Structure 1
């Protein structure tokens, strides 16, 4: 896990358009599960910040747009939409295009640009208030970071792997939300 994190950090400092030469399925699933764990840990580590923001009455997490969208839906439909449909669409929009930028300088810019846009698009999950707009970099920090992880796996292993990672991440947190209710 430590090696994966170090490789990821090195990559994020200087992203390059280069697929991983190791095509062994065992290797790829191993990397996938380590990145999945990193995604989940990122979400868990950042969650206390959201609790604090809500306790300070700066953000109302009860009016989250995702909850409104899924209200009244069966759990299987929520999982289908949240862990399959949305990740596939978002990966096609935010990760598929980055490999079209072949020049190193253009690729690096596109890698960061699409991860940031992916993150900031998720501000629409919140009711638009002055506090939400001012706190938007914090509120979408998990999506920005996961956007970097998804970009990494997309470039290194392929688009299908970023779709799988994105869907697994969403599915994990949706399943957790089912346990809370």
Structure 2
């Protein structure tokens, strides 16, 4: 019981450190997770992401049930219909994380400014919003865009923290692991 309580306390501490950083992102603060292994940080970030994704999934179900947005036309559905599993894995687990991290997390360390907070959030939110193109663009999709890309904004924030704390290679690695957890079971299920 004490071991479980200790793990919960460490997880809560990691969550609190993510929140503290997100309140005031600072390019110079590289000691956010001192005392924690990268594996614990990655696992904690994944748990945070998937708990929030679960909440977003419930919201998405409500939105779809109410007829505001159809997820049948989502780009991932078409990807799974049009391409073989190995291409889906290659694109989703390797190509997308590298390209997206180079574009959305790579440049953020170039902005050594007092207004770094705006740069940090700009890249995270832009990363999320670019994923709206996965939907057929309609008025409802545009109105609901902040909700529909909420999971990508959250992962963009987590990736930004990992980028600042550990470097670009680690944000690419985390992104690949995250996508792999989502994509590989789906590919195995479809075969």
TM-score, L = length of structure 1: 0.91
Instruction: Give the structure 2 partner of residue 4 of structure 1.
Output: 14
> Which secondary structure state, in structure 1, belongs to the residue aligned with residue 68 of structure 2?
coil
How big is each residue's C-alpha offset from its partner over 1:18-64, in whole Å with a ceiling of 9 and x where there is no partner? 3238789x812221121122122221221100011110111000100
Q: Which moved more, 1:147-156 or 1:164-173?
A: 164-173
The correspondence for 1:126, drawn from 135, 153, 173, is 135
Give the number of equivalent residue pairs: 179
> Which secondary structure state, in structure 2, belongs to the residue aligned with residue 71 of structure 1?
helix
The correspondence for 1:65, drawn from 65, 75, 86, is 75
The correspondence for 2:84, drawn from 70, 74, 82, is 74
**Alignment partners' CA distance in 2, 1:179 and 1:55:** 27
Indicate the structure (1 or 2) with the bigger Cα radius of gyration. Answer: 2
**Alignment partners' CA distance in 2, 1:59 and 1:179:** 27
Contact kept in structure 2, 1:20 and 1:157, CA below 8 Å: no
How big is each residue's C-alpha offset from its partner over 1:143-169, in whole Å with a ceiling of 9 and x where there is no partner? 111110000000011111111111111
Q: Which moved more, 1:72-81 or 1:157-166?
A: 72-81
Q: Which moved more, 1:69-78 or 1:83-92?
A: 69-78
Q: Following TM superposition, by how much is the alpha carbon of 1:69 offset from its aligned partner in structure 2, in angstroms?
A: 3.1
Q: Which moved more, 1:69-78 or 1:81-90?
A: 69-78
2:124 counterpart of 1:115? yes
Instruction: Give the structure 2 partner of residue 19 of structure 1.
Output: 30
Instruction: Give the structure 2 partner of residue 44 of structure 1.
Output: 54
